[in-house]
Structure 1
Amino acid sequence: MPSAPSKIYADDVSLLVVTLDTNPFFWATFPFPFAEFLSQVLAFLNSILLLGQLNQVIVIATGCNSCAYVYDSSSERNHGATTGTMPALYSNLLHNINEFLARDRQLDALRKTGTVPSSLLSGSLSMALCYIQRAFRLGPMPPQPRILCLQGAADGPEQYVAIMNAIFSAQRSMVPIDSCYIGSNNSAFLQQASYITSGIYYKPPQLEGLYQYLSTVFATDLHSRAFLRLPKSVGVDFRASCFCHKRTIDMGFVCSVCLSIFCEHHDKCSTCGSVFGQAQLDASAANRKRKA
């Protein structure tokens, strides 16, 4: 990564970290082909780099078993003009994605037959935040960072805690999380992520024009957003997932000590060990009897 102190960044210079959903099980059942999706995303990434020579783009592939950095525009090996018949951005990114998919499939031995696993969104968000924190430490004036999640697979309730931790970390670091969800239904996790971090959540109505939606909604830098009328979140799904069965619930029981959420009443919190309700009274009564 180039040294930040040697550059004077303007307020419209962006560090864009893109999490790209490459879950092969989702794309095998989705009517929109992955090749067409990827071609429009590549055109969008290229336009971000063309908007300013100091803009940086990092792409993180999100599989169903692992995540990996597949492109970094600041890397010297990605500065070549062309390799063969296509630009370096296209050739390097496609090569790295193919290698990542091959490795990700090798980790799929434990998947249940007939199920479509969720993508590892929590892992890609954590990697994105780690990269941004490293950029912060390189100099006093890093480019303005933001995260763009290009997600298609359904939410994985088992990732609820890890995703919420990443969301609150992004909020604390003032890093907005933009979300472009292309799946059949809305993503509650990404709705909450964009709402909490003051990002943009958008579900394109027609995927054939995905590039137009990406370039008009998500290409704008943070400084320019104050002058534009961008989509706002309407009807955010704030439901949580229980810690016991990893199910999305409307009502539940919350531990007053560690705020863990459960779909059923428990005598004892499985997270912090606190004793609840009648069980706590019974334990106190037993202690008094022993002391007497």
Structure 2
Amino acid sequence: MPSAPSKLYSDDVSLLVVTLDTNPFFWSTFSFPFSEFLSHVLAFLNSILLLSQLNQVVVIATGCNSCTYLYDSSSDKSHGSTSGSMPSLYSDLLHNLEVFLARDQQLAKPWGNAAAGGGGAPPSSLLSGSLSMALCYIQRAFRSGPIHPQPRILCLQGSADGPEQYVAIMNSIFSAQHSTVPIDSCYIGSNNSAFLQQASYITGGIYYRPPHLDGLFQYFSTVFATDLHSRAFLRLPKSVGVDFRASCFCHKQTIDMGYVCSVCLSIFCEHHDKCSTCGSVFGQSQSNVASSTNRKRKA
């Protein structure tokens, strides 16, 4: 596996790209308020910047319909922006978050009306989009020159997995693995996230579901604040019982057993005569086609 370009910074300098779950359908039904969750996140991000003046922090909002960059500590605007006594991390991020939430909720109105009338399940967060944006930012950092911090991604997620995003998320996971970028995951939902478990396991990151949400900052600072070099000397949580189940390409449902196309590796929960992805003809169907062709030739 080819490694990422060599880095001239010290090993303890980090480029932390955080994906922040802002799905209003999740937070409106979750017992822990989003405002309190955000206060823990802001304190954690501020501590990362205080650990080293060379550390960089990028925050990406993960909505149910769109994703966007909320904050980039390396931009000139972030260094010079202040609002009274409020640091730029708080003022810029909170302003951009407010604008994003208003736009994302406007796009989610059709889903909200359907959910209120019992016409469908609440949409999941667009995790595949935020992971893609995070990897694009990291690739730009790689190509900017040999001097850049050690990159890693931290997914702060609460919404349930969206099976329809399985292919896109797995592509992002393998892209991160190819670039040696670990994906850390902090999942605060009621059940574990199979997607994030696989992401952290495959890329060598940390998956953790805090047992007590009141102490989120302590979990952030002790588990996810450590740089990649220091992790070799610490006893950090390890993934146990990773859920490796996949989602089928036909109905977008999580399955335990299924049918796999031997050509393109597409997964189906039911037997099909033909692969809907690459068009390959399967097993018995292929022999039936050959038999009918032979009968036509004899006739």
| Superposition TM-score, scaled by structure 1 size | 0.96
Q: Compute the displacement of 1:289 (Å).
A: 2.6
1:144 paired with 2:150, answer: yes
Alignment of 1:170-189 (within 5 A): 170-189=176-195
Q: Is residue 80–residue 88 contact of structure 2 (8 Å, CA) maintained in 1?
A: yes
Give the counterpart of 1:130 among 130, 136, 140.
136
Q: Which residue number in structure 2 is paired with residue 90 of structure 1?
A: 90
Q: Name the SS for the 1:83 alignment partner.
A: coil
- The alignment of Structure 1 onto Structure 2 pairs a total of residues equal to 286
Q: Which residue number in structure 1 is paired with residue 209 of structure 2?
A: 203
Amino acid at match of 2:278: C
Q: Compute the displacement of 1:85 (Å).
A: 3.4
Q: Which residue number in structure 1 is paired with residue 4 of structure 2?
A: none
Q: Which residue number in structure 1 is paired with residue 259 of structure 2?
A: 253
C-alpha deviations, 1:45-70, integer Å up to 9, x for none?
Answer: 00000000000000000000000000
Q: Compute the displacement of 1:8 (Å).
A: 4.9
Measure the CA separation in 2 of the matches of 1:284 and 1:212: 65
CA 1:81–1:105 in structure 2 vs 1: closer, same or farther (change >3 Å)? closer
1:289 paired with 2:289, answer: no
Measure the CA separation in 1 of the matches of 2:224 and 2:122: 28
Q: Which residue number in structure 1 is paired with residue 199 of structure 2?
A: 193
Q: Which residue number in structure 2 is paired with residue 24 of structure 1?
A: 24
Q: Compute the displacement of 1:109 (Å).
A: 4.0
Q: Name the SS for the 1:167 alignment partner.
A: helix
Measure the CA separation in 2 of the matches of 1:82 and 1:211: 24
Measure the CA separation in 2 of the matches of 1:109 and 1:211: 33
Identity of aligned residues (%): 79
1:113 paired with 2:84, answer: no
C-alpha deviations, 1:103-155, integer Å up to 9, x for none?
Answer: 11121244232432100000000000000000000001321000000000000
Measure the CA separation in 2 of the matches of 1:27 and 1:33: 7
Q: Compute the displacement of 1:242 (Å).
A: 0.5
Amino acid at match of 1:232: K
Measure the CA separation in 1 of the matches of 2:276 and 2:53: 51
1:226 paired with 2:232, answer: yes
Measure the CA separation in 1 of the matches of 2:239 and 2:247: 21
1:153 paired with 2:159, answer: yes
C-alpha deviations, 1:57-96, integer Å up to 9, x for none?
Answer: 0000000000000000001111137412321111110000
Q: Compute the displacement of 1:236 (Å).
A: 0.1
Measure the CA separation in 2 of the matches of 1:134 and 1:63: 23
Measure the CA separation in 1 of the matches of 2:122 and 2:251: 18
Q: Compute the displacement of 1:173 (Å).
A: 0.3
Q: Which residue number in structure 2 is paired with residue 237 of structure 1?
A: 243
Q: Name the SS for the 1:257 alignment partner.
A: coil
What is the root-mean-square deviation in Å for CA atoms of aligned residues? 1.2
Measure the CA separation in 2 of the matches of 1:144 and 1:272: 38
Q: Which residue number in structure 1 is paired with residue 173 of structure 2?
A: 167
Q: Is residue 81–residue 92 contact of structure 2 (8 Å, CA) maintained in 1?
A: no
Measure the CA separation in 1 of the matches of 2:177 and 2:142: 15
Q: Name the SS for the 2:115 alignment partner.
A: coil
| Superposition TM-score, scaled by structure 2 size | 0.93
